[in-house]
């Protein structure tokens, strides 16, 4: 642990005592504040700042960026900066500073890591299920429908029989914000659903509305669907983790690569904003450049 000057140590010690005695914070919470402020005091020293009162908003922004470069999670950085804001508010209330420089400080934005999509060959390996049991047919229908429609996990689990039109190959989906949308699906998913419906009665009682039911004869939970996907990833020897979000991401990526129509993919995914789809369905630059060169009148090279 770095040796720190008293001008950085003593104000923190008084603040921690205040949290413990006046605010009645638990010892565990106080210890968390202590660790956080210790780390940030060390960063200030590395920036040639030896007194909390010397730090400006720009200095604290630089401190936040240094925390960001340590590859901490977004929530961890937010917690540390929250402790810093509380500490500076204490100094303000004690009359040691005239303004709280950390008041408007926010954590650096971090992009959400996207799941890697499965390539077409890997998906074919996953979906090539040779199991005619009721559970096998059910799981095949689940995975085919995920990849065919790009549904969210909760959307798939909440599907009722009335929401599926097998003849038209359409789903009526209630998405986020209780917004309803129609989603098409292909022949492979249609066939898988037909096979599942032939044996569905063996797993559920008459009158059950849910499309997908468990061995307990009730609607499948999100957790049970996730577990079944992992079971099949192992059985099909994929060698990597498979989850519903990865299938949704694969659907979106493959649709966008084939069609290039971002608006259609946005509608299929049920995204309110196009910007969400742009992040979610990332394309590599070479593919974008290839489409651009082929499509834009001014991009075509003369021969």
Instruction: State the catalytic residues.
Output: 152, 176, 245, 248, 271, 280
Query: And the tokens for 299?
Result: 């991009």
- Could you tell me if 43 and 67 are in contact, meaning their C-beta atoms sit under 8 angstroms apart? yes
Count Cβ atoms below 10 Å from residue 52 Cβ, excluding itself. Answer: 23
Non-local (6+) Cβ contacts of 270 within 8 A are 152, 155, 173, 175, 176, 179, 181
Cα dist. 71→32, 80, 83 in Å? 19, 13, 19
Contacting residues for 237 by C-beta, under 8 A, at least 6 apart:
125
Q: Give, for 125, the enclosing helix (H) or strand (E).
A: helix 120-127
User: In terms of Cα–Cα distance, which of 235, 229, 231 is closest to 250?
Assistant: 229
Residue for token pair 């003369």:
302
């Amino acid at each position: 642990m770095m040796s720190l000057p008293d001008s950085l140590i003593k104000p923190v010690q008084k603040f921690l005592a205040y949290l413990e005695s006046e605010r009645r914070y638990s010892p565990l919470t106080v210890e968390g504040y202590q660790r956080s402020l210790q780390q940030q005091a060390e960063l200030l020293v590395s920036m040639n700042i030896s007194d909390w009162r010397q730090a400006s908003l720009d200095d604290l922004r630089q401190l936040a960026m240094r925390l960001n470069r340590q590859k901490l999670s977004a929530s961890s950085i937010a917690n540390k900066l929250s402790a810093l804001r509380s500490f500076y508010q204490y100094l303000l209330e004690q009359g040691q500073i005239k303004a709280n420089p950390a008041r408007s400080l926010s954590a650096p934005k971090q992009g959400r890591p996207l799941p890697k999509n499965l390539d077409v060959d890997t998906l074919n390996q996953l979906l090539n299920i040779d199991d005619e049991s009721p559970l096998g047919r059910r799981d095949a229908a689940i995975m085919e429908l995920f990849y065919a429609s790009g549904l969210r996990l909760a959307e798939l689990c909440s599907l009722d029989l009335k929401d599926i039109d097998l003849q038209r190959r359409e789903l009526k989906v209630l998405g986020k914000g209780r917004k309803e949308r129609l989603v098409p699906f292909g022949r492979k998913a249609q066939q898988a659903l037909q096979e599942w419906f032939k044996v569905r009665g063996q797993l559920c009682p008459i009158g059950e509305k849910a499309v997908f039911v468990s061995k307990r004869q009730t609607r499948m939970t999100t957790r049970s669907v996730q577990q079944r996907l992992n079971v099949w990833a192992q059985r099909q020897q994929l060698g990597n983790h498979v989850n519903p979000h990865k299938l949704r991401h694969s659907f979106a990526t493959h649709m966008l690569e084939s069609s290039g129509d971002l608006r259609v993919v946005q509608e299929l995914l049920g995204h309110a904003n196009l910007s969400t789809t742009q992040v979610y369905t990332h394309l590599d630059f070479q593919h974008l450049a290839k489409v651009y060169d082929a499509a834009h009148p001014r991009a075509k090279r003369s021969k």
